[in-house]
Structure 1
Amino acid sequence: MNRETGGTISELDHIIQSSSDILETRIGTRVMRRDYGSLIPELVDQPFNDATRLRLYAATAMALMRWEPRITLSRVQFSGITLEGKIEIDLEAALVDSNEVQNLRVPLQLGANA
């Protein structure tokens, strides 16, 4: 189900929506599931250099390996950032059920505009 419209979406779109939710959620903020989320929100105010980019990749991989069981991640690539604070991350992942490789673009909204 689409979280904004309530309409039906494909499994691939649901994986993208779920991945976005996992990556945008700060660890410790979900009641009854305190370890849900990622470390990406902690990186918002960090200088965007090679070290921060590596932390972004690691935080993405760790969170999705733990919380998104429908995919097996093989590549994480930072796609871009806008002045509004929107980040896009490109993922290469295999669907667990079919072993079909998919390229997914996951949009993230971090910071005050989230």
Structure 2
Amino acid sequence: MAGIDQTTLRAIDGWDHVQQSIRDILTTKIGSRIMRREYGSSVPDLIGRPATSETIVKIYAATALALSQWEPRFEIEGVSVEGGSAGVVAIQIVGKYKGETVEGRIAMEA
């Protein structure tokens, strides 16, 4: 599948397109898309909460659930969360794309 890069407006395909899709899924709040209210993840609701172990586990679960539901080209194998300064959180994902192990990183602000 091919598409357009949301930042550069250039054509993208392969893993680049999947990463963009993953970023879109994880940063879209469930209920925010008109005509597709179920699309997205609950990750945006969790970012900005105190970084307790409970919140981190909820981010892991929300990430895995959303990607397994909305991105069939990617088979998730692992998730980690890094807290940064000024309310920025980075979600690191590892999984399989076309049989190859790949990694991605999505930074999100509270």
**Paired residue total:** 107
Q: TM-score, normalised by structure 2?
A: 0.87
User: SS of 1:58's equivalent?
Assistant: helix
Superposed counterparts of 1:1-114, under 5 Å: 1-78=4-81, 80-95=82-97, 98-102=98-102, 104-111=103-110
Write the distance in 2 (CA, Å) between the matches of 1:71 and 1:29.
23
1:36 deviates by 0.3
Write the distance in 2 (CA, Å) between the matches of 1:32 and 1:99.
33
Write the distance in 2 (CA, Å) between the matches of 1:49 and 1:39.
17
Q: TM-score, normalised by structure 1?
A: 0.84
Task: Indicate conservation of the 8 Å contact 1:38/1:63, yes or no.
Answer: yes
User: SS of 1:26's equivalent?
Assistant: coil
Task: Look up the equivalent residue of 1:73 and give its one-letter code.
Answer: I
Instruction: Give the 3 Å change call, closer, same or farther, for CA 45–82 of structure 1 in structure 2.
Output: closer
Task: Indicate conservation of the 8 Å contact 1:23/1:40, yes or no.
Answer: yes
Instruction: Give the 3 Å change call, closer, same or farther, for CA 93–56 of structure 1 in structure 2.
Output: same
1:16 deviates by 1.2
Residue ranges of structure 2 left out of the alignment (5+ in a row): none
Give 4+ residue runs of structure 1 displaced > 4 Å after superposition: none
Residue ranges of structure 1 left out of the alignment (5+ in a row): none
Give the structure with the higher percent strand: 2
- Aligned-pair identity in percent equals 36
